[in-house]
A and B are shown apart, each in its own frame.
Chain A
Amino acid sequence: MSLSTVVELNLSLAVSVAATGWQTALNRGPSIKLRGLDCLADRPAVVSMVERNARVKTFGYAFPDPRAEAKPTVQQKGGATTPGAAAGIPTAPPTGATRMRPPSDVIKLVDRLYYVLQPPLETLINAESLNCPFDPFPYQLEGIAFLYPRHAAMLADEMGLGKTMQAITTIRLLLCAAELRRVLLICPKPLVSNWKREFGMWAPEVPLVVVEGDRVKRRWQWELPAAPVTIANYELLMRDRDIVCDPALQFDLVVLDEAQRIKNRNSTTSQVVREIHRRRSWAITGTPVENSPDDLVGIFEFVAPGYLRREMQPRRLAVAVGDHVLRRTKDMVLTDLPPKLFRDAQLNLTSSQSESYRMAEDAGVLRLSDMGREATIQHVFELVLRLKQICNFDPVSGESSKLERLVADLEEVTASGKKAIVFSQWVETLLELKRRLAGFQPLEYHGRIPTRQRDMVIERFRNDPGCSVMLMSYGAGSVGLNLQFASYVFLFDRWWNPAVEDQAINRAHRIGSAGPVTVSRFLTVSTIEERIDQVLEQKREMFDVIFAPSQRAQPSGLTQAEIFGLFNLRSPSGRLGHVA
């Protein structure tokens, strides 16, 4: 209310006048007093909240665009030069999500993020138009995701799971990403043609150089700068040591197939491969440990020099290699693979075989006993080989209980239109089998068959319905060959190391097998073969300790002491080398 406002009040008072002496006062108006009331308070306090637009802190990382990198040497199939060209790109994105993870030895955040941010492999394969002849199995994609980011890796899948395909596809992806420009693949000589064939199937656009021919030609091949992938065999590596170990020759990646070849770090092969100048080192093997954990240490001298030590206990080894080794077995990943049926044949020697065997054993053991401390591993070994050969064929009469059984089985195999592979460790045994099995028209694949003829032998075995039987040596045929069209495998005699036997069996029992593979292992009872088998069975635990306990054990070979023990003899100098 304003202070200047005047309010008029109508005071209607009833007044009567009485005659008194002071009536004059009645004619005066009433006296009204005004008192002001201050309504104003103090100015209210104000609290201001200023909203500062503080800049959000960010971190940025840039990655090279592989499409901007020149890739003149990698031509796309069909003449297209740009991966991801319209032709061949499917109209729907892939649905799988196999992601790669950074290895533990990648330290820098930007490098780790590079791998974390890569698309799923299904997307990569689709985007790069990498037309694969078959869709990779999920576990194979996991294998590729394992290899891709690793500079030191060992792919140790069981035989038959497609290690070759996983390595080739990873190389292909890394070439497309311009992360690799020069790759050296080293394999045993008999497997060179197999790798060429597999590259033709899984990476047809990648040019290959196979090192072969005379020294002048080989030098030229080694030094070809534009070759993305060079394939060489171990034997040539020795001869070309001065070229391949020249610091001027740099490889982005060196892949060792059948890497157990360098398990002995003192071997010349191991020394040469370790001298090759390289950024990445991958080892591929189905038998990372054949005899002892030292095998693994030896291979790692190439994969990650100095990372493992010989004195490390198996459990510590297992932890150390955990991020560098990937091993899967068929039981783990191929639930749909046809079964592998073992049908062990425990056979009695024929009477003449038995007589020859006893005579040889008695004479041999007597000789070793007489030699005393002069007896060496070679002397025992000779006796073992002699007895094993008698288990195959009697040297006097030529009788063979194994052959009798084999003939009966092969008649059944051929009658059903199936194919069979017969393995032996001796070429002489294979030649004898060829003579005695002439009715089956068997093919041969062993060390005396020239390398240039071996591919033709395989092709004929694959395609000729009249060729049902292949006689094969463990040495020549146990690794790298794809013989999944064979339904039967016969191990006419047993190898020292069941890991090698497994490799032989898995030539037939692998991806692509149309049906079950039946494996017949011939073992003559109460002989050296049975004793060796018992010793090897006792050694299956070591592999379990290093790798997954759920996996089937990979037994090792025999030590010197164990070989002496076959005849109840004591090794003169304790634990020595292994026989594999």
Chain B
Amino acid sequence: MSDSALKSLSAIGFLTVIEHQEHGLFGGYLVLNRGGRPLEFHCTAPVKPNRAQEILYGPTLADYLYGEQIGPAMVENAKIRPEIICTDVEPLLATQAGKQSQLVLIYDPDKQDEPSSQEDSQRQWHRRDAGSHSWPRPPHTQLAEFTLAGHRLVVPQSRTASVGQLTSALAGFADTIELSEPFQRIRDAIEEAQQMGS
């Protein structure tokens, strides 16, 4: 990803996964324009690891399901390839999003302990926020961290453009939209789609 690409951001992606108690994992990927309006939305059919996968992948199961299965399936299907893709689920950082896209993990520490609206209503949906996984995770040791608009942001150090470049590129969006807000839209959309489908 070039400096000029970062400077001229026209779209931004938001990638997340939520878990349904019965059906399993649902991925959602939302591409927004600079004004925060939706341009593309992708979601997955429910994904549920089998017992063999749980045993064989062990502590790497989350990285496998999120980063190799769910994340790429949506990102690759999108027509728009934004320069920055934000996620609030740490294993999605492993998503192979192509060379032109930089994945950024957004921590929203104020909301990690709060139940989502879905949890409030049915207790069937669970957020998969950074740090709330039911499977053991291998420690990411090579992460670069920075702060923007009250959020703690993390990027894989091996793939990162400079933190300064990312900060200035994201700042334009952060002036307009609250960076963790689009994840709620994705969760609502997945729930809407699930209700329509059921």
Contacts and interface: CB of A to CB of B under 8 A. Distances in A.
B37 A119 contact: yes
Contacts of A95: 178
A375 B149 CA distance: 77
B131 interface: no
A112 interface: yes
A93 B193 contact: no
With most chain B CB atoms within 10 A of its CB, the pick from A84, A113, A128 is A113
B181 A65 contact: no
Contacts of B42: 58-61
Contacts of B32: 119
A89 interface: yes
B193 A127 contact: no
Given A56-B45, A84-B35, A123 B40 contact: no
A117 B176 contact: no
A55 B73 contact: yes
Interface string B41-82: 111110100001100100000000000111001100111000
B39 A123 contact: no
A65 B39 contact: yes
Interface residue tally on B, bucketed by range: 35 or more
A65 B149 CA distance: 26
A112 B189 CA distance: 9
A61 B175 contact: no
B130 interface: no
B41 A123 contact: no
Interface string A43-61: 0000001010101111111
Interface string B13-55: 0000000000000010010111111111111110100001100
A109 B33 CA distance: 21
With most chain A CB atoms within 10 A of its CB, the pick from B33, B38, B181, B185 is B38
A91 interface: yes
B181 A113 contact: no
A310 B170 CA distance: 56
B114 interface: no
A62 B185 CA distance: 15
Interface string A118-134: 11100110111000000
Interface in B147-179: 149, 174-178
Contacts of B193: 59, 109, 113
Interface in A89-118: 89-95, 97, 99, 102, 109, 112-114, 116-118
Given A58-B43, A91-B175, A127-B177, A113 B189 contact: yes
A83 interface: yes
A93 B176 contact: yes
A55 B69 CA distance: 7
Nearest to B11: A65
A97 B182 CA distance: 11
Given A93-B149, A97-B181, A127-B177, A119 B78 contact: no
B35 A120 contact: no
B46 to A, nearest CB: 9
Contact of B35 (A55, A61, A83, A90): A83
A220 interface: no
A66 interface: yes
Nearest to B149: A93
B40 A51 contact: no
Nearest to B52: A49
A315 interface: no
A93 B37 contact: no
B176 A127 contact: yes
A58 B38 contact: no
A62 B56 CA distance: 37
With most chain A CB atoms within 10 A of its CB, the pick from B69, B149, B182, B192 is B192
6 contacts: A56-B27, A58-B74, A60-B77, A84-B35, A94-B178, A117-B186
Shortest 6 CB-CB distances between A and B: which pairs? A127-B35, A119-B36, A117-B38, A57-B45, A56-B73, A60-B42
Interface of A: 49, 51, 53, 55-63, 65-67, 83-84, 89-95, 97, 99, 102, 109, 112-114, 116-120, 123-124, 126-128, 177
Given A67-B33, A89-B176, 14 more contacts: A53-B69, A58-B42, A59-B44, A67-B34, A84-B35, A93-B174, A97-B181, A112-B196, A113-B192, A116-B185, A116-B189, A119-B182, A127-B35, A128-B35
